[in-house]
Structures are given as structure tokens and as C-alpha cells.
Structure 1
Amino acid sequence: MPGQRAGERRRRLADVGVSPKDRVVDAAIEVGEAPDLPRPAQPLGAPSLHQRQGSKGLSLFLERMDDHRVAGAEAMGGEIAVPISRREIIRAFLRQRTDHLQRGGKAVVNADRHQGLDKCGVPSSSATPEFALRAIVTPITDPQGLRDAWLTLETNAEPSFFTSWHWIEALLVAAGRTAFVLKVMDDNRIVGLCVLYVHSAARRRWFTPRDTLSVNETGDPVCDAIYIEHNGILHDRRYGAAVVRAALACLSGPEARSVLPRFDEIRLGGVPEIYRMIAAEIPWLAREIARKPTFGVDLAALRQSGEELMAQFGRNTRHQIRRSIRAYERHGPLGFNAAPDLETALFYFEQMIGLHTARWTERGQSGAFATTFARTFHTALIRGGITNGSVELVECRAGDTVIGYLYNFVYRGTVYFYQSGFEYSRDRNLKPGLVTHYLCMERHLSRGNDYYDFMAGEQRYKTNLAARGKDLIWLRLRRPLWQYRFADAASRAMGIARALCDRWQR
């Protein structure tokens, strides 16, 4: 009976010292990511939630919040984590149901381990009420001190390669101009770090901010063509979303204005979904500029299952790879070699640039390495990463015939495919990209790496070789001035008008 269930729930809450009037979410537990902790009987965000309307669906949502909270509190000895108000819970429920409707009414569960959200759409965090975080912004005057602090924080964080010191150091070297660092502190301990640049556009436009603040990017479109992904604020895993919230509150508040040059826009490129949710909490105009899916192959699961890599592809993809391998083997045995030293790595890099640029020139574009900044940045990155194995340049050959080159990053068990250059033939049966990626995945499968990340973008070869993962988003936050409000409203109106025109034409 409903009354009996409610009474049982109140007794369970009282047993762990939680008042039923204060509904809280145990953000220290991510459902499905903490096997040593008890889970609720029915996972949060289950499809049945979306099929119920009005107050009944919300009541079920709140009940499951309590079940999830009690399970976590019992496992943690009755300790309570980040209190979430009833209003925030209702907002999470509405966001979840809105996302469900936008997906056509289908329940979509994203189990990617990097998502940073629990399955009910509430930001995951391991912060507790006694965390009094403060954020400060200072110019970078001591690069060695920043390096030590960054590497120390990495040991307690779960960074991607793009928020590791490998990438950040190369960015600072290549940019060669004034940069700032944002530190999130818990007392005297650093629990969050990111690099900031303020960029001023050459021309001032009335409805577009001239001065922008970028996180882990320069803000200059020419320089940022190096294209960061899996971006964000490096943070201690025990603090989670609390660090992001403190950082964005600082950047949008008066603290940052006293140190940074004037800016009217904050840019967050290639960040996870949690940033959009937290950005909606601050009084700036937040807008999602772009959203791109990522693709990857779970090598750890494949290794555990004992299945062959080739069996994971579709029939047509398997046929193309095998046919290409047979054709290439007529030129000699296939060879797949990773650069063993810096000299070889730089040679492979130059050869890859030649093939990459030639391919893009045929399409009327310059490619990813056309600027001096890009060459400087990647040279610094290779010099710093080839010795410790975080940067990988590989060559694929068939006898004396070059098939192609891959430029990868290898960090904490994940292989990030960054860029490539292939020798294309007039023979359309030859697929150098599929063959090279297949051999590279086989190599890392045997070397014990966990994940092969094709990163953002929905190109056909990614959909053929990999499974879809989480989405990355590109955000902008503008100061709430009237001209920017007008520009946002006009842009949304134009988008609605285009959608209506498209629908009418169909």
C-alpha cells in the first residue's frame, strides 16, 4: 500500500538520522559506478519514470531519491552528502522528462564512465556540507610552481589527456602571452585548477562581445584550431561538481573582475553535460553553441569477453578491412611501427602533415597544421610526451609502401586518436584508414589499454568502427546585458523560424 511504503521510507530515513522534510541526494555515489555500495531496487531514471505524467511521476521521482539517499547513507555510516533542495530536485525531474521528450520518448541511458552525472540527471559530486570552497584567479608568474601543483592534483583527479599537464604545458609554451590560473581551494588545499586566457577580437560588434575569457584555450580562433576535447576544470575526484560550481561562480562574479581584463563572455569548449547544468545556475546568459557525439571502443570489455576485435564490426566493415589487407599484402608484409625516439617521431609527424595537408588541399581547405601556432604547439607536445609514452606516432606500411600515419595520445589506459595522414590510392577497394585503425586497436588491445577513443565527430569511419559514447558540448556564457539578451532572443527566433520553414517545406 502507498501509506505503508511512505511509512517504511520515513522509518528508514529516521534510522540514518535524515529528516524526511529534507530530501537529499547522496552525490557521493554514482549509480552503477560504486559496486561496493548498495543500490536502490530500481535504478534512477528508469524508463517507467518518463511514462508517468504530472504529480504522480514527480512523487515516484522523489521516492526514488529517498531510496537512493538512504542506501548511500547506510553505507557511509549515516553521513549526509550535498543537500539538494526540493526545488532543485523538481528542476532535475523536469530536465530529465524534457530530455526524454526531445529524444522522442525513448529512455536513453548513457553509461559512459566519464559522464560525471548520475542517471537521474543530478550533478554527481563527493562534496560534503563542511566543504567551504573558494576560488581565486592570479596571473601565472611561477610556471614551475604551477607545474608542481598541477601534477599533485592529477594524482587525486580523473583527468583526460587534454586537462593533464602534458597538454597544458604545450599550450603555455606555444601561446607565449599572459595567462591566468584559476585555483579552487578547500582551506589551503588546491582542489581545482584551470588555465585562463582573455582574447580581444580585432573588430567590435554591437551585439557580439569583443572580449572573451576561455578555459584551457587561448580564445583566438586561429590558435584554438588545435581543438581541445574532453575539456574542463581539473578537480579532485572527491569534490566533483562542487569545484565546477565554485569556479563558474568566481568567473561570473566580482572576484574575477578585479584581476582579469574586462570580458563579457566565457567560453567552455568540449566539456561534458554537467557544465551546461551548472552554467544554468549562474545569472549569465548560457547557450549551447554545439554538441557532438564521441565514439570509442571499450578494449577492456573486449579483452574480458575474449572475443576478437574484428567480430565487433559490421559485416560490410569486416569485408572492407579484410579485402584491403589482402590487397596491401601484395606489396609486402604489413608493418605497424610506433616511433621509438624523438627523431623518428618528428619524422613521422612531418610525413603525416604532408599526407594530411594534401588531402585537405584537394577539398579546398588548409588542414589542421597550417598555422605557425599549431606547428609550435604540437612540436612542444611531442618533445615532452614521446619519452614518457603519452604521445604516440605510428607508421603503417605494406612492404616499402606507406599506408598511413596516426598521431595518438595515450594517457591512463585511454588511447586518444587525434590526427592522421593516409596515402590514398585510385583503387577504391583500398581503405587505408580502416586498416590502420584496426591494426592500432589490435596493438593497444594486446598492450593492455582500456579504451580507444575516436573523440568527437560523427564521421562514417567512426560509426563503422566504434560505439557511440557521451556527447561533448561547446558553451558560451555572456554577461546579462540588454544587447546580448536581444541577440540571444533574435537568434532563437531565427532558429524557430527556420525549423518551421523546414517543416512546412516537407
Structure 2
Amino acid sequence: MRLGVFANTAKRHAERIHLTVYNPFVRFDLVEDIWTSLLGKCPHSYFLSWGWVDSWIRSLPPDCGVSLIAGFKNDSPILAFFVGSHNVIRHRLFRAGQLSLNSTLIPFFDSLCLEYNAVLIDPDITIALENMVEMIPLKNWDEFYMPRYSPVYCPNLIIRDMSRKYNLKILDRRNSYYVDLEGVRKNNMDYLALLSNNRRQQIRRTLKEYKKWGDIHVRVAGSAKDALGIFEKLVLLHQKEWKNRGQPGAFGTDYMIKFHKNLISRRFDHGEIQLMEITAGMNPIGCLYNFLYQGCVLFYQSGFSYLAKNVYRPGLVCHYHAVLHNAAKGFLLYDFLADDSQYKKSLSTDSNEMLSILVQKSRLKYKVENRIRTLYHFGQERLSMNGAGRQPRLFSLLEKLKRLKSWKKTV
């Protein structure tokens, strides 16, 4: 009964909202006014702050397909989000027009890794996701993708109870683990006592080994110039390790490096950027790159000096000291951001959940695609059961079906 009340309220609110599309590269000042007017009253993370969004828009080419969609009630903005638009062809058969929440759908640019994604919605408004996407004034779209959507920052967007006109899929669930820094302070700054016995022993052991080199020192950048210097050290350490693993690393493109240098230069003096360098004596242990926003510390990237012996755990030492430093500074939490890795979980006291959601319009081609996917996986299972023998007839037929280009004209 309660869900029905919420849904009816959300529908009534939606009937009074008018959505308008703006090009942020042409109407930048107006987009800024709309966005910042909502930031003052809507819950949001650093990744939707104007500091981040401003830097993001400035980093993109004007032809990337990004637009701002703003909702108005009585000429006042009460809802806003960005969308990237892109057309894809899947399985060589199905063409889909895609929209993506606050991202571009271009992997090169989306490598920034947006976290705690949300729609800015006036707290006095409740709206159903179905009603919102129904009103999007863009033509020829089939799918609305919401990467790493956070219910924590969007409590008044109702994503349940969608009609048969749409299919709602939860593509991924990820935990964002964090340390409650108030809990650390209440525990007399004894952070280790909040962790498991095994993790406590590991941290104490690696601290003991590093201290043989000299006192452990934490240096926090005091200026934008200093922060850029630590950032360069972080990039070198980060890229060295990931190249050794045969991976490109987070800073493998000039775009990523340029974006973050600009972000650090523009936003450090606003108190949003924290670069830390941790050393033992004269020897580097690692560097951390964090965002500071609304009392939260968001760990974004790192560069560690790895050694051959397993007793040296630079990540544990750096995060241990970062937690203590930021707890002493009065911050509320230290967030490791979305990743289900065991080491982040073991260093945390709590977690939030992020969801990757896909809303599809109910179309025949998606029913056919889902059926083909089911049959395809069934055929592969049969093939694996048969070993290297003859392919099952069903599997062979499906492979032929995927090659029928004439299907593009019929779905």
C-alpha cells in the first residue's frame, strides 16, 4: 500500500514538470545557473559538484553528444541531469539508441570513473523513474543507462513498479566501503581496534618494518603547486606498477592526466583536493589522491612503491595514516569508493551500495535479443559438454542467424 502511495504521488508531481534540453557547450552560463541552484538543496556527491562538473564539461569536445536535461515547475528548476547519447549495434543485428546518466558513453572519456551517480531532484519533489524517462525530450532512444547510481544521494527517485512499457535491469551491484571517522574519534583515535585481528596484525607488522628505515612522515600538499608535484610522483608510481602488470593504468592517456591537473589547479584553493605523500625516512611509501567534500574524504587514486618482500604493504600503511590524519582534522568519513576488493572491505567499518541500472523500452528486438542470448548460452553449454566434437545443431543455427544482415531491416 505504501509503495502505491509513493507511486501515485510521484506521478502527480511528474505531471506538473516540464523537461527542457540544453547544450552545455553553447549555453554554459545558463547550465551553470541551473545546476548550482539545485546543488544548494539536493543531496549529491563530489562527482556531481560544480567543481567536478565544470572541469568535466571543459574537458569534453563539443560534438561528444552530452546535453543537460532540466525539469521546471512554475519556471523554477526542480530537476536536472546530464545525458550522453550514442547509437550502438549489438550482435551485428540490433541497433539501439542509448542515453547515459551524467556520462558520455564514450569509454575514452568515461575512464574518469564517475561514482555516486544521481539525478539532482528538489527534496520537495518525488518522481518515479518511469515518469522521468517518459518525459525525456530526446527522440529515437531505446535505453537509459545509469552507471553507479547511488540511492543514498537520490532518495526521492522511485525506481520500482515500472509498467510493461519498460524493462528495468540491475546490471551490477557494488559496495563502496568507508571508515566512520567519528567512530575513530570516539575510540580515542584507535583505528586499528575497529578492524579484524588479522588486519591489525598485518598493519602493525608492516609499520614495524617501515620504521626500520626511519620515522614515517605524512606530508599533505599545502598549495596547488605542491599538490601537482605530489600528483606527478603518484602518476609515476601508479603507472610503473600497472605497466609491470601488463595493464595501461588509470593515467595511461594524456586526457586523464590533463583532466586531473586542471581539476587540481582549479579546485585546490576551494578545499576540494587532498594530495598526500607518505615516506619512511628518505624512502617513499606511496601517494594518495583524495577529494574533500561536505565532510567526506573520497579516495580516488594512489601510487605505491612496491617492494619484493611481502612484509611491506604500502597500501595498508598509506591508508592507515590517511584515516588517522583525516579523523584528526574532523572529517566525517573516509570513503574507498566502489570496489568489492577484500583489502578495502577489511579496512572499513561501513558501506554504501551503488547500482548500475538499465531501463529499456519494451520493444520486439529486445525480446528477440534476450531469446537469442539465452539460446546462445545454451548452445555454448552443450558445446562444452560435447568437448571438441561436432557442434550442436542449435548452436550452429544461432551462429548462422547472427550473420543474417537482413534482420537489421526487420527489427
TM-score (norm 2): 0.82
SS at match of 2:274: strand
SS at match of 1:387: helix
Q: Which residue of 2 aligns with 1:410?
A: 292
Correspondence 1:133 to 2:55: no
Residue 324 (structure 1) aligned to one of 206, 214, 236: 206
Cα distance per residue 1:156-199 (max 9 Å; x no partner): 11101111112211211111224311112222111121122223
CA distance in 2, matches of 1:375, 1:344: 16
Cα distance per residue 1:254-289 (max 9 Å; x no partner): x322xxxx4333221000357783484472333222
Correspondence 1:440 to 2:362: no
Cα distance per residue 1:470-500 (max 9 Å; x no partner): 3211122334332222112333566789999
Cα distance per residue 1:82-104 (max 9 Å; x no partner): 9347xx9xxxxxxxxxxxxxxxx
Q: Which moved more, 1:419-428 or 1:275-284?
A: 275-284
CA distance in 2, matches of 1:209, 1:353: 39
Structure 1 unmatched runs, 5+:
1-22, 26-81, 89-124
Correspondence 1:334 to 2:220: no
Shift of 1:394: 0.9
Computed over aligned residues only, the root mean square deviation of the Cα atoms, in angstroms, reads 3.0
Describe how 1:13-162 pairs up with structure 2 within 5 A.
24=2, 83-84=5-6, 132-140=16-24, 141-162=26-47
Q: Which residue of 1 aligns with 2:402?
A: none
Specify whether residues 321 and 264 from structure 1 end up closer, same or farther in structure 2 by C-alpha distance, changes over 3 A only. Answer: same
SS at match of 2:270: coil
Contact 1:175 1:373 in 2 (8 A): no
Q: Which residue of 2 aligns with 1:301?
A: 183
SS at match of 1:296: strand
CA distance in 1, matches of 2:13, 2:255: 44
Correspondence 1:264 to 2:142: yes
Specify whether residues 129 and 195 from structure 1 end up closer, same or farther in structure 2 by C-alpha distance, changes over 3 A only. Answer: closer
Higher strand share: 2
Q: Which residue of 1 aligns with 2:338?
A: 456
Contact 2:178 2:336 in 1 (8 A): yes
SS at match of 2:138: helix
The sequence identity of aligned pairs, in percent, is: 24
Cα distance per residue 1:28-58 (max 9 Å; x no partner): xxxxxxxxxxxxxxxxxxxxxxxxxxxxxxx
CA distance in 2, matches of 1:134, 1:416: 35
Shift of 1:130: 10
Describe how 1:325-364 pairs up with structure 2 within 5 A.
325-364=207-246
Q: Which residue of 2 aligns with 1:190?
A: 77
CA distance in 1, matches of 2:371, 2:150: 25
Q: Which residue of 2 aligns with 1:371?
A: 253
Cα distance per residue 1:392-422 (max 9 Å; x no partner): 1111111211100111111101111111110
Q: Which residue of 1 aligns with 2:387?
A: none
Correspondence 1:242 to 2:120: no
CA distance in 2, matches of 1:349, 1:282: 50
Count of residues in correspondence between the two structures: 377
Residue 116 (structure 2) aligned to one of 230, 242, 247: 230
Q: Which residue of 1 aligns with 2:268?
A: 386
Contact 1:293 1:468 in 2 (8 A): no
Specify whether residues 404 and 208 from structure 1 end up closer, same or farther in structure 2 by C-alpha distance, changes over 3 A only. Answer: farther
Shift of 1:305: 5.2
Contact 1:131 1:186 in 2 (8 A): no
Describe how 1:456-495 pairs up with structure 2 within 5 A.
456-492=338-374
Contact 2:250 2:256 in 1 (8 A): yes
CA distance in 2, matches of 1:408, 1:170: 16
CA distance in 1, matches of 2:148, 2:325: 28
Specify whether residues 345 and 361 from structure 1 end up closer, same or farther in structure 2 by C-alpha distance, changes over 3 A only. Answer: same
CA distance in 2, matches of 1:433, 1:138: 43
Specify whether residues 208 and 228 from structure 1 end up closer, same or farther in structure 2 by C-alpha distance, changes over 3 A only. Answer: farther
Q: Which moved more, 1:126-135 or 1:139-148?
A: 126-135
Contact 1:336 1:394 in 2 (8 A): yes
Contact 1:249 1:282 in 2 (8 A): no
Contact 1:184 1:243 in 2 (8 A): no
Shift of 1:233: 0.9
Task: Report the residue type matching 2:287 in the other structure.
Answer: Y
CA distance in 1, matches of 2:312, 2:371: 50
Structure 2 unmatched runs, 5+:
385-411
Q: Which residue of 2 aligns with 1:106?
A: none
Specify whether residues 174 and 321 from structure 1 end up closer, same or farther in structure 2 by C-alpha distance, changes over 3 A only. Answer: same
SS at match of 2:229: helix
CA distance in 2, matches of 1:326, 1:311: 17
SS at match of 2:59: helix
SS at match of 2:235: helix
